[in-house]
Amino acid sequence: MERFDMLEENADRQRPQGIDGDQLLDNQDLLQMLKISSRSLQRYRSSGNLPYYSISGKLYYKLSDVHLFIRESFMQRRKRNNHDKDK
């Protein structure tokens, strides 16, 4: 167990703490949080729907940007569903 604690501490030291006081998430964090594939995450980045930062060759996402992305996606889906019901 002590080794796991050491590995976790080392991983935390390597990750940038944040930007503008906002927590940063990496790809793995986001894939697990959103339960999506890496290809879907790549598509969101490429389309500009999800802002990201490249730090030392690794991609990070601000937690506030992720929350905004989720809210906007939810609202778009809601509008589509209401539009489909009106037909």
pLDDT of residue 5: 66
Number of domains the chain is built from: 1
pLDDT of residue 2: 72
Task: Give the mean pLDDT per block of 10 residues along the chain (87 residues).
Answer: 64 65 92 95 96 93 94 84 68
Range of the domain at 29: 2-86
> Which pTM does this prediction carry?
0.70
CATH classification of the domain holding 55: 1.10.10
pLDDT of residue 19: 76
SS3 18: strand
Q: What is the DSSP string of 48-76?
A: TSS--EEETTEEEEEHHHHHHHHHHHHHH
